[in-house]
Structure 1
Amino acid sequence: MYYINGEWLESEKKLEVTNPVTLEVIDTISTCGAEETKTAIAAATEAFKTWKKTTGNERSEYLFKTVKLMRERADELAQIITLENGKPLPDAKNEVRSAISYLDWYAEEAKRIYGEVLPASHRDKSLMVVKQPVGVCGAITPWNFPLSMITRKIAPALAAGCTVVLKPANQTPLSAIKVFECFHDAGVPKGVVNLVIGPSQDIGKELTSSPDVRKLTFTGSTRVGKMLVRDSADTMKKVSMELGGHAPYIIFEDADIDLAVEGVMLSKFKNTGQTCISTNRVYAHKSIAKEFAEKLAKRTAELKIGDGLEEGTDVGPLINESALQTMKNQVEDAVKKNAEVVAGGRVYNYDKGSGYFFEPTVLLNATDDMVIATEETFGPIAPVFTFETEEEIIERANSTLYGLAAYCYTKNLGRGLRMMRELEFGIIGINDPTPIVIQAPFGGIKESGMGKEGGKFGLEEYLEEKFVSIYEN
Structure 2
Amino acid sequence: MKTYQLHIEGRWTDGADGVTEAVINPATEEVIAHFCHATSADIERAVASAKQGLEEWKAVPQWEKGAILVRAAGLLRERKQQIAEILTEEQGKPLAESLGEIERAADFIEWGGEEARRVAGRLIHGRDQGNTIEIRKVPVGVVAAFAPWNFPVVLTAKKLAGLLGAGCSCVVKPAEETPGSAVELVRALLDAGVPGNALNMVLGKPAEISSTLIAHPAIRKITFTGSSPVGKLLAAKAGEVMKPVTMELGGHSPVIIFDDADVESLAKSLVAKKFFNAGQVCVSPTRFFVHESQYEKFVAIFCEHAKALTVGNGADSATQMGPLANERRLQAMEHLVEDAVAKGARLEVGGKRIGDKGFFFAPTVLTNVSLDADLMNTEIFGPLVPILPFSSEEEVVNIANSVDYGLAAYFFTNDVARRRRVSERLYAGTIGVNDVPAHIAEVPLGGWGDSGYGVEGGIEALESYMKSQYVSLR
TM-score tier by shorter-chain length is over 0.9
SS at match of 1:188: coil
Q: Contact 2:169 / 2:198 at 8 angstroms: preserved in 1?
A: yes
Of the three residues 9, 16, 25, the one matched with 2:13 is 9
Q: Contact 2:125 / 2:131 at 8 angstroms: preserved in 1?
A: no
Q: Contact 1:266 / 1:434 at 8 angstroms: preserved in 2?
A: no
Give the CA deviation at 1:435. Answer: 4.1
Q: Contact 1:14 / 1:31 at 8 angstroms: preserved in 2?
A: yes
Cα distance, 1:55–1:372 mapped onto 2, change above 3 Å: same
Q: Contact 1:48 / 1:162 at 8 angstroms: preserved in 2?
A: yes
What CA distance in whole angstroms lies between the structure 2 residues aligned with 1:361 and 1:449? 28
SS at match of 2:321: coil
Give the CA deviation at 1:207. Answer: 1.3
SS at match of 1:326: helix
Q: Contact 2:53 / 2:199 at 8 angstroms: preserved in 1?
A: no
Give the CA deviation at 1:337. Answer: 2.3
Report the TM-score when normalising by structure 2: 0.96
SS at match of 2:261: coil
SS at match of 1:191: helix
| Aligned AA (2:355) | N
Q: Which moved more, 1:284-293 or 1:324-333?
A: 324-333
What CA distance in whole angstroms lies between the structure 1 residues aligned with 2:343 and 2:241? 47
SS at match of 2:406: coil
Counterpart in the other structure of 2:399: 396
| Aligned AA (2:14) | E
Q: Contact 1:267 / 1:434 at 8 angstroms: preserved in 2?
A: no
SS at match of 1:153: helix
| Aligned AA (1:205) | S
Equivalent positions of 1:15-30 (< 5 A) are 15-30=21-36
Aligned residues: 468
What CA distance in whole angstroms lies between the structure 2 residues aligned with 1:124 and 1:47? 37
| Aligned AA (2:176) | N
Q: Contact 1:138 / 1:207 at 8 angstroms: preserved in 2?
A: yes
Of the three residues 377, 383, 387, the one matched with 1:374 is 377
Of the three residues 426, 430, 443, the one matched with 1:427 is 430
| Aligned AA (1:345) | G
| Aligned AA (1:456) | I
Counterpart in the other structure of 2:183: 177
Counterpart in the other structure of 1:59: 65
What CA distance in whole angstroms lies between the structure 1 residues aligned with 2:261 and 2:350? 26
SS at match of 1:385: strand
What CA distance in whole angstroms lies between the structure 2 residues aligned with 1:224 and 1:236? 18
Equivalent positions of 1:72-471 (< 5 A) are 72-118=78-124, 120-349=126-355, 354-471=357-474
What CA distance in whole angstroms lies between the structure 2 residues aligned with 1:273 and 1:142? 15
Q: Contact 1:253 / 1:287 at 8 angstroms: preserved in 2?
A: yes
| Aligned AA (1:459) | L
| Aligned AA (2:422) | M
SS at match of 2:361: coil
What CA distance in whole angstroms lies between the structure 2 residues aligned with 1:223 and 1:330? 17
Give the CA deviation at 1:27. Answer: 0.6
Q: Contact 2:311 / 2:320 at 8 angstroms: preserved in 1?
A: yes
What CA distance in whole angstroms lies between the structure 2 residues aligned with 1:266 and 1:419? 24
Report the TM-score when normalising by structure 1: 0.96
Q: Which moved more, 1:52-61 or 1:356-365?
A: 52-61
The C-alpha deviation readout for 1:37-57, integer Å capped at 9, x for no partner, is 111011010111221132111
What CA distance in whole angstroms lies between the structure 1 residues aligned with 2:401 and 2:211? 34
Q: Contact 1:164 / 1:192 at 8 angstroms: preserved in 2?
A: yes
SS at match of 1:118: strand
Identity %: 39
What CA distance in whole angstroms lies between the structure 1 residues aligned with 2:34 and 2:226? 24
Q: Contact 1:2 / 1:10 at 8 angstroms: preserved in 2?
A: yes
The C-alpha deviation readout for 1:94-152, integer Å capped at 9, x for no partner, is 00101111111111111001212335444553233111111101000000001111111
Q: Contact 1:260 / 1:431 at 8 angstroms: preserved in 2?
A: no
